[in-house]
Amino acid sequence: MAVNWRGDLGFSDRLAATAKMQVTYRIANPDCSSTEPSRNAKLLEEKARQNALSLREYHELCAKAVQLLLSAQAAGNVEDRHVDEHIFPNLPLSGAQIGRYANAQHHSDGLFSEVFKAVDPEARSHHSRYELVALKITVPDQMTPPHDSKKEARILVAANGEHIITLLEAFQQAGGRFVLVFPFLPHGLDALLRQGTLTGDSRRNILRDIFSGLAHIHNLGIIHRDIKPTNILLSSPTGPAFLIDFGIAWSPSDPASEPTIEKILDVGTTSYRPPELLFGHQAYENKLDMWAAGCVAAQVACLGSKTLFDAGDLGSELALIKSIFETLGTPDLAVWPEAAAFPDWAKMNFTQYPARQWPAILPETDGTAVDLVSKLVVYESHQRLTAEEALEHPYLKRASKGQINA
């Protein structure tokens, strides 16, 4: 029986591959139109997806497409280039010198960043507990709003707290590069969900840490805007857990953040985006994070690597709306009164789906966990629990108090 590898290919993986091709196309064709790189990158990625016979072959074809684009340049312009040239030119995949950090090794890719892992040469002499660090390399001039690594650094300084990733330092490099330095945390919640290794106590402790972090930033007026498993890192498989990646966060006191009632809608990630975003509501508040956290809680408590809602292979907003409506029922203004003021609420007629019962949505799950999720994943944003209220929920009150923070 053939393995359905395309089903395991996530939207974020496809987006990352397409973004790399897009930037590489622009490098190889500096005189092209503004829309040409995006159009050709999408065609190349889709060709790789259609032609590949396995996930490994898909990644190989995407890498080959990038290399072919680079090889199309004049030989003098492509010497020593690698697929991450657009972020940090001429770096090898290991042994790089980044500021005072030597022998940095490439760790992971982001949409607008590359992350390297390195040993802090001064950690022992300064008695620092963070000997291993993560170096997030960005080019602010290449970022599009709401992505802004300098704003991220400012917000992280303001949001310093127990379950917020610590910004150890940030520094400028030649060529307009901006580097953020964090403790290296070896475990991602997304990986733990795929492995299916979480226990009852670790589930509750991890969720408690997530809501503690959210309570802290929400009390400061900050909205994270991209809560999802990949943005939650842990120092051990059982915790403590930390919120990371404040690259699109919003703060009322930061000059680079949008006006309160004109916030950018293109935030969040596919299946974790709340319905108010999908209907054009720009005056959203921190309850946006609570919907996303509820979706994460559903995975931690029951679903594992499967998301609560499905936005389809390409992250379609219509597919996400349909999935939400099929699960929670198609809302009317009696259920969702705030929607009457949303710009896109009355533009389409939707099939009327009945609401499913939460025990059927999250089967064979602790009843108090189901109750927690049901009070977070709610159409009317003001009816969602706050992070502080979530911490007082019976499911999380059972969390272990003996956890020692790293």
Given pLDDT bands bounded at 50, 70 and 90, which one contains residue 399? low
- Which is more confident, 96 or 277? 277
Query: How far is residue 390's CA from residue 300's CA, in Å, rounded to a whole number?
Result: 15
pLDDT greater at residue 275 or residue 123: 275
Considering only 2-6, 72-76, 365-369, which range has the smallest mean pLDDT? 72-76
Question: Domains of the chain (ranges plus CATH)?
Answer: 96-183 (3.30.200.20), 187-397 (1.10.510.10)
Percent of the chain past pLDDT 90, that is, above it, reads: 60
**What is the average pLDDT score of the chain?**
87
How far is it, in rounded angstroms, from Cα 96 to Cα 159?
A: 30
Tell me if residue 134 falls in helix, strand or coil. Answer: strand
Enumerate the active-site residues. Answer: 226
- Rounded Cα–Cα distance for residues 28 and 92 (Å): 20
Give the pLDDT of residue 248.
Answer: 96
- Three-state SS string over 319-330 comes to HHHHHHHHHHCC
Q: Cα dist. 258→115, 263, 264, 331, 353 in Å?
A: 27, 5, 7, 29, 36
Q: Give 73 or 228, the one with higher predicted confidence.
A: 228
Q: Cα–Cα distance between 177 and 114 in angstroms, integer?
A: 11
pLDDT digit string, tens, across residues 42-55: 888 888 888 888 88
Token duo for residue 346: 């009355």
CA-CA distances (angstroms) from residue 360 to 88, 312, 327, 384? 49, 22, 10, 20
The predicted pLDDT at position 27 comes to 74
pLDDT score at 72 = 56
* Mean pLDDT along residues 324-350: 95
**Whole-structure pTM value:** 0.77
pLDDT in tens, 245-304: 999 999 999 999 999 999 999 999 989 999 999 999 999 999 999 999 999 999 999 999
Phi/psi at 148 (5° precision): -165, 105
What is the rounded distance in angstroms from the CA atom of residue 393 to the CA atom of residue 144? 38
350 backbone dihedrals φ, ψ, rounded to 5°: -110, 150
- pLDDT for position 82: 37
Statement: residue 92 has pLDDT above 50:
no
Instruction: Please report the pLDDT score of residue 11 as a whole number.
Output: 76
* Cα distances (Å, whole numbers) of residue 101 to 30, 132, 133, 217: 32, 10, 9, 30
Nearest to 232 by CA among 219, 222, 246: 246
pLDDT of residue 68: 78
Judge contact between 216 and 161, C-beta under 8 A.
yes
Considering 86-95, 113-122, 200-209, the range whose residues carry the highest mean pLDDT is: 200-209
pLDDT, position 240: 96
pLDDT at 81 (0 to 100): 34
The radius of gyration computed from the CA coordinates of the chain, to the nearest angstrom, equals 22
